[in-house]
Chains A and B, each alone.
Chain A
Amino acid sequence: DTEVTQTPKHLVMGMTNKKSLKCEQHMGHRAMYWYKQKAKKPPELMFVYSYEKLSINESVPSRFSPECPNSSLLNLHLHALQPEDSALYLCASSQAWAAVYEAFFGQGTRLTVV
Chain B
Amino acid sequence: QKEVEQDPGPLSVPEGAIVSLNCTYSNSAFQYFMWYRQYSRKGPELLMYTYSSGNKEDGRFTAQVDKSSKYISLFIRDSQPSDSATYLCAMSVSSGANSKLTFGKGITLSVRP
> Which A residues are closer than 8 A to B by beta carbons?
4, 6, 40-43, 45, 48, 50, 55-56, 88, 90, 92, 97-108, 110
Contacts and interface: CB of A to CB of B under 8 A. Distances in A.
A110 B43 contact: no
5 contacts: A48-B100, A88-B41, A98-B97, A103-B101, A105-B44
Contacts, number: 61
Contacts of A4: 43
Interface string B37-56: 00001111110010100000
Contact of B46 (A40, A55, A104, A110): A104
A102 B49 contact: yes
Nearest to B4: A42
A45 B101 contact: yes
A-B complex: 10 closest residue pairs judged by Cβ atoms: A42-B103, A101-B32, A105-B43, A100-B99, A98-B96, A107-B43, A101-B49, A108-B43, A105-B44, A97-B97
B92 A101 contact: yes
B105 interface: yes
A48 B106 CA distance: 23
A102 B105 CA distance: 19
B107 to A, nearest CB: 11
